[in-house]
Structure formats: structure tokens, C-alpha cells
């Protein structure tokens, strides 16, 4: 028996977030998965959201930059049950000046049992399993 992941509360929204060193990979991944991503309501933090909109031509609601409140905006969406999936390409080799914000966001995603990917392989697996 296979299990299809369903965003919490039946929500059809996905947040796309990437650390600076991972933005190129996120844009490439979003481009490769654009047809599927178009079926969902997309949110992205600052530069990541802007690059996905401009370079991949996907409709995406841009939030604030992560360190300027974007991570908190996504955290609030999770806590309020308005976000079904968080795809957050993290860079494990770079120190983050806003590491506390990142940890808070990941903690909320875990606490509220939000579908979560922190790398490309997991993001692709999740995307292929979401009910469309």
C-alpha cells in the first residue's frame, strides 16, 4: 500500500525557501518541476521568491526576506494551518547569521507535522507524492 502525502488541513500551499548558497539549486529545481508546482499556491521568501517568479515564470507570493521576517511569516502560516508543505533548501556548510530564525521555522514545521524537505532529493520525493 502506498501513502500519498497530503498537505495539512487539505491546504494546497507550498513555501519555497533557500539559503543564499542554495538559491541557484532551488531555481533549477523549481524550473524542472514547474508543471507540478503550478498546481499549488506558492509562497517564497524575498530573493528566492523573486528569482522563481522571474526565472521560472511561476506565480508565487513573495514574502519578506528570511532574516527580515520572511521565516517568521512562514512560521505563522504553519502555526495557523495555512501552509501544507515547506521546501527549504538549507546549506549545511555555511554559518547563518539568522540561525535562530531558521531553527524556529524548522521547529514549527516539526511541531505542526508539516510536510518538510530540506534538500532536493526529499523535495522531489514529496512533490511526486502530493495529491494533485
Catalytic residue set: 71
Torsion of CA 94, 107, 63, 95, to 10 degrees: -10
- Reference 77, options 102, 43, 52, 48; nearest CA is 43
CB neighbourhood size of 125 (10 A): 11
Amino acid at each position: 500500500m502506498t501513502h500519498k502525502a497530503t498537505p495539512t488541513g487539505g491546504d494546497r500551499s507550498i513555501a519555497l525557501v533557500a539559503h543564499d548558497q542554495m538559491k541557484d539549486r532551488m531555481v533549477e529545481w523549481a524550473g524542472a518541476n514547474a508543471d507540478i508546482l503550478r498546481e499549488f499556491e506558492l509562497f517564497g521568501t524575498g530573493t528566492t521568491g523573486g528569482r522563481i517568479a522571474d526565472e521560472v515564470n511561476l506565480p508565487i507570493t513573495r514574502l519578506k526576506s528570511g532574516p527580515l521576517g520572511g521565516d517568521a511569516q512562514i512560521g505563522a502560516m504553519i502555526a495557523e494551518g495555512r501552509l501544507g508543505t515547506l521546501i527549504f533548501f538549507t546549506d549545511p556548510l555555511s554559518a547563518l547569521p539568522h540561525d535562530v530564525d531558521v531553527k524556529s521555522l524548522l521547529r514549527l514545521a516539526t511541531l505542526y507535522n508539516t510536510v518538510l524537505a530540506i534538500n532536493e532529493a526529499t523535495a522531489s520525493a514529496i512533490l511526486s507524492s502530493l495529491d494533485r
